[in-house]
Amino acid sequence: MLRRLSLRLRLSLLLGVVLALGLALGVGLLVLHAGARVRAEADGATRLARELIEATLTRLDGAPDPQAEIARLLADARRLRHVRVTLAGEETPAREDVDRAPQWFTRLVLPNAAVTRIETGRGAAIMIAPNPADEIAEIWQEIVWLAIGGAGIAVAAFALVSLAVSRTLRPVATLAEGLKRLERGEHSMRVPADGSPEFVIIAERINALAATLQRLDEENRKLVRRMIHVQDEERKDIARDLHDEIGPFLFTVRAGVGALARRLTASGADPTRLAADCARIDAQIAALQQVNRRILGRLRPAALEEMGLADALEALAQGWRETNPKVAIALSLDGASGDIEEATALTAYRIVQEALANALRHSGANLVEVAVKRSKGALHIVVRDNGAGLQATRSASSSGLGLRGMSERVGALGGALTLANDAKGGARLTASLPMREGGAARH
């Protein structure tokens, strides 16, 4: 049940219980002390009455009227407080107190009232009984007024502390509203940092979280715009390839087929020329197939699915060796064999593909080294060349769209990519891709 209560109600309830227990403890101590006070008053009054009676009885033998002297003695003794003096065998009504205490309280503070008997020597006895009713009534009134005063003070303290707790916990509602706005996606909101130091720290942490989320939102928007730009550039490249390369081939093939058809319908067609026309058409179709494979390879490397990462990288390097025979490409692909998750293998292939393209086109290097290794649950890729190196302040994130896209893709997989000048000269690209155990099997 307490779990359903708010913090403010819990603190108020705890404070109320503590004040009530404190008041009850104070009243209990007064009640316990009241017994000692009443007994002390009763014993003192009984002793005084006994001494008075005993001193008077010694003078009875010389008194002219002993009975009258005893009557005066009883009258004087009955004026004493906290005792009741009577002759044995007669009862004198007790003096009624205006503010009499409850019977349970009287029995509690004076459970046993011992009666003292004094013989007069003339066949009579005087009885002295404690009767501290007025003292008990006074103590009871003290306790009542003290309880009322203590209750009033407790109520006032409860009200003041509850007000202070409410004012202290007021920032909690503001912080809760701020978190709710964060949950709704209002990352530009800020909560006021006021109240106690603890709430100020929480407010600052919420504001820092909101600022981080706002920054991530802006980065995501930039990333989306960049992805759209990359996609548009890729579409332009494909459209240019289709227009500049496939288009002329298709036109040539169509023209060759038309010429071949005309020669076939003409009289006296020369089979040798027809065969030559067919050979030219076949060559154009073969070239068209190469362009088609190159475009498809840019979109998704078929070798990766057919042969796996290691063989796909070998085929990629061989293709670059054929187009750039003056540049040596050294491969160390120990970590590229075996089972590698599809997304990780494709990203690794794209990294090496982009790094080789940049090194062979821009660095002026005559040696490019590619190494793929595995360690500590990650796939590590290093591509370095002995070319001119990078310009100052250039990194993977500030390079062209290709490497920038690779950097973002590696970051999306939880890895890291860096591009810097190598200590031995040239540039060095390093990438680390996390690998999950039991990843997808080799394609």
Given the structure tokens 């089972």, which residue do they identify? 339
User: Could you tell me what percent of the chain has a pLDDT over 90?
Assistant: 7
Q: What is the mean pLDDT of residues 129-148?
A: 80
3 state DSSP class of 379:
strand
Look at residue 59 and tell me whether its pLDDT is greater than 70. Answer: no
What confidence tens digit (pLDDT) does each residue in 7-32 have? 777 777 888 888 888 888 888 888 88
Span 314-337, average pLDDT: 86
pLDDT category at 97 given cuts 50, 70, 90 is very low
Average pLDDT over residues 385-408: 65
Instruction: Tell how strand 328-332 and strand 367-375 pair up.
Output: parallel
Contacts 24+ apart (CB under 8 A), 317-321: 317/356, 317/370, 320/356, 320/360
Please answer whether residues 396 and 358 qualify as being in contact, where contact means their C-beta atoms are separated by less than 8 angstroms. Answer: no
Q: Which two tokens stand for residue 101?
A: 């205490």
* 367-375 vs 378-385, strand pairing mode: antiparallel
Q: Which three-class secondary structure string do you get for 225-236?
A: HHHHHHHHHHHH
SS3 393: coil
Do 203 and 193 touch, CB atoms closer than 8 A?
yes
Strand partners, 429: 383, 419
pLDDT, residue 442, reads 43
Is 56 in a helix, a strand, or coil? Answer: helix
Helix, coil or strand: residue 411: helix
Q: What is the mean pLDDT of residues 249-267?
A: 77
Mean pLDDT of 198-219: 90
Q: In whole angstroms, how far apart are CA 243 and each of 137, 229, 232, 237, 334?
A: 116, 21, 16, 10, 41
Long-range CB contacts for residues 205-211, cutoff 8 Å, separation at least 24: 206/175, 206/178, 206/179, 206/182, 209/182, 210/178, 210/182
| 213: confidence class by pLDDT, cuts 50, 70, 90 | very high
List, for residues 100-115, the tens digit of each pLDDT value: 778 777 777 776 667 7
pLDDT of residue 396: 47
Of 126-135, 203-212, 309-318, the least confident: 126-135
Write out the H or E segment, with its range, that includes residue 371. Answer: strand 367-375
Residues forming a β-bridge with 382: 371, 430
Q: What is the reported pLDDT for 398?
A: 44
User: What is the pTM (predicted TM-score) of this model?
Assistant: 0.47
**CA 65 distance to own-chain centroid:** 99
The domain over range 303-434 is classified in CATH as 3.30.565.10: yes
- Residue 352 pLDDT > 80: yes
Confidence of residue 146 (pLDDT cuts 50, 70, 90): confident
CA angle centred on 87, ends 83 and 89, rounded to 5°:
115
Compute the average pLDDT of residues 281-290: 80
Number of DSSP helices (H) and strands (E) in the chain, helices first: 12, 8
Q: How far is CA 329 from each of CA 60, 298, 316, 324, 379, rounded to the nearest angstrom?
A: 143, 20, 10, 10, 20
Q: Where are the domains of the chain?
A: 2-168, 173-299, 303-434
Residue from 113, 152, 97 nearest 35 by CA: 113
C-alpha to C-alpha distance for 437 and 427, rounded to whole angstroms: 32
Determine contact, residues 421/401, Cβ cutoff 8 Å.
no
Residue 205 pLDDT level (bands cut at 50, 70, 90): very high
What mean pLDDT comes out for the span 145-151?
85
Which of these, 52, 47, 89, 51, lies nearest to 73 by C-alpha position?
A: 52
- pLDDT attached to residue 165: 80
Residue 208 has pLDDT above 90, yes or no: yes
